[in-house]
Amino acid sequence: MRLAFLAPEFFPPIGGVGIYSIHLIKELSKHEDMDIHVFTPARGKDYDQEKVLNYFGHRIKLHNISNAHDDFVYNFTFQYKLFRELPRYHRQYNYDLIHSANLVNMPDIYLKFKPLGIPSVATLHTTIKGQVRGFLDVSKNFLSLAPSERWSLAAYPYISLMERIYLRRTKHMITVSRRFAEILREQYRYRGVIEPIHNGIDLEVFNYQRVNDPYERFPQLKGKGPVVLYAGRLVARKGLNLFVEAMSELSDTGAHFVFAGRGSERLIFDLLQHHEIPNERYTYLGFVQNDQLPWLYRLSSIFVLPSFYENLPFSLLEAMAMKVPCIAANVGAVNEVIETGESGLLFEAGDVKALVRHIKQLLENDEYRVRLAEAGFRRVRAEFTAATMAEKHRQFYERVLNAA
């Protein structure tokens, strides 16, 4: 099977779409009958194509047809380049199937008006409507949003229209959760084929047994109190305001709060200043490469996902795989991962009192914290692995091709 995989995010991964793409392609490329061509922007001034190819054992072909130096505008260039270049590559390689890695980016949107005549599938991680609702649930103040969220809001009428056109012209969709399959049917009246396939993580990377002495990687956290970790994009819809407000209510616990992620630093520091959080109570790490995250999770006592909007987040799976007990807002498909009280704790989005209560409960009860961590660890390894995710994709590809 010759696959053209269209990845708006790939190396280095800056969010869930990039992580999904890397895990999926790594597993798929292990199959000798898969000839995989990845189309993706070269991201950042230090991008090294040879390093990327080495990561996959040179089992894929990599086509960097554009560049990415931001988190939003680059996508329009990538769409245009695909429209111009993919037909030429198809004439040369004769692809069997096109897989677009993310609905919101719609990398092949212009080809929907001039199709190549081969089957295509797309993965739904989120929708533009859901993203906009998520950050507007946090704040109606345009200036309080992260820059990428402001761009999304400004471009919303255009992107929303194109998203609906894209869905009408795409016959096969993969959703990373059952919940979003329901949303696609009920809210978008989608009439094509939907295949829910849960996200899965690479257990070779997120391997609890292999991670030793995490303080070698993060010496600045040595000697701090029990670490309560936020790891994700620094944007309003991720609930950072809630996390910082909880910090202000937990000053008597001795916990040390850690931020890791890429996005709006100003958003973080404005919140910390507003709530008068002393510098010694937190550490801001900035963006942490995905292959370094296992060590950060390993030294954390609690992982918090305070989002107002999610689908099925990789950060949650990663933390659970590293035996970190998780507290998460009950949004999107989070409850398809966490069974509250069994493999983690859930709270209603925006309920800071419940979040504070859960953090205190885990800080004060070591036995309960360990029990949740062990249960989460077993659940991820049994049900949310990249190998399982990739095999289900292969099976779906074959059904799509057989139906063509």
Residue found by looking up tokens 């950050």 in the block: 135
Residue 146, burial from CB neighbour count under 10 angstroms (0-12, 13-18, 19+):
buried
Give me the chain's average pLDDT, please: 93
pLDDT at 147: 66
3-state secondary structure of 234: strand
- At 299-332, the pLDDT tens digits run 999 999 999 989 999 999 999 999 999 999 999 9
pLDDT at 321: 97
Q: Which two tokens stand for residue 169?
A: 């012209």
Closest to 13 in 3D by CA, of 58, 43, 57, 38: 43
pLDDT for 136 beyond 70: no
Assess contact for 195 and 174: CB atoms under 8 A: yes
Residue found by looking up tokens 């109190």 in the block: 225
Closest to 263 in 3D by CA, of 359, 115, 149: 149
CA distance 308 to 240: 10
pLDDT for 150 beyond 90: no
Chain centroid, CA 190 distance in Å: 23
Phi and psi for 272 in degrees, rounded to 5? -65, -40
Per the document, the length of the chain is 404
Q: Which two tokens stand for residue 175?
A: 């959703």
CA distance 173 to 106: 12
Q: Which two tokens stand for residue 193?
A: 């084929």
pLDDT for 275 beyond 80: yes
Q: Which domains does the chain have, with CATH numbers?
A: 2-200+385-403 (3.40.50.2000), 208-383 (3.40.50.2000)
Give the mean pLDDT of 214-225: 94
Question: Given the DSSP bridges, would you call strands 282-286 and 256-260 parallel, antiparallel or unpaired?
Answer: parallel
Question: How many other C-beta atoms can be found within 10 angstroms of the C-beta atom of residue 76?
Answer: 13
Give the mean pLDDT of 76-91: 96
What is the value of pTM for the model shown? 0.91
DSSP state of 9: S
CA distance 348 to 156: 27
CA distance 370 to 325: 7
Closest to 81 in 3D by CA, of 103, 100, 115, 109: 109
Question: How many other C-beta atoms can be found within 10 angstroms of the C-beta atom of residue 229?
Answer: 27
CA distance 154 to 167: 21
The angle that helices 128-138 and 156-168 make with each other, rounded to 10 degrees, is 150
DSSP state of 188: T
CA distances from 126 to 149, 177, 272, 380 (A): 14, 10, 29, 22
- At 334-379, the pLDDT tens digits run 999 999 999 999 999 999 999 999 999 999 999 999 999 999 999 9
- At 155-195, the pLDDT tens digits run 778 888 889 999 999 999 999 999 999 999 999 999 999 99
Phi and psi for 168 in degrees, rounded to 5? -65, -30
- Residue bearing the bigger pLDDT, 75 or 195: 195
Cis amide bond preceding 219, omega within 30: no
Q: Where are the alpha helices (DSSP H) in 139-234?
A: 147-154, 156-168, 178-186
Give 131-135's long-range contacts (Cβ < 8 A, gap of 24+): 131/104, 131/237, 131/309, 132/156, 133/309, 134/237, 134/307, 134/308, 134/309, 135/235, 135/236, 135/237, 135/308, 135/309
Quote the strand ranges of 222-335, DSSP E.
227-231, 256-260, 282-286, 302-305, 326-329
CA distances from 308 to 151, 234, 241, 278 (A): 19, 13, 10, 26
Q: Which two tokens stand for residue 297?
A: 């999770």
Question: How many other C-beta atoms can be found within 10 angstroms of the C-beta atom of residue 120?
Answer: 21
Phi and psi for 75 in degrees, rounded to 5? -65, -35
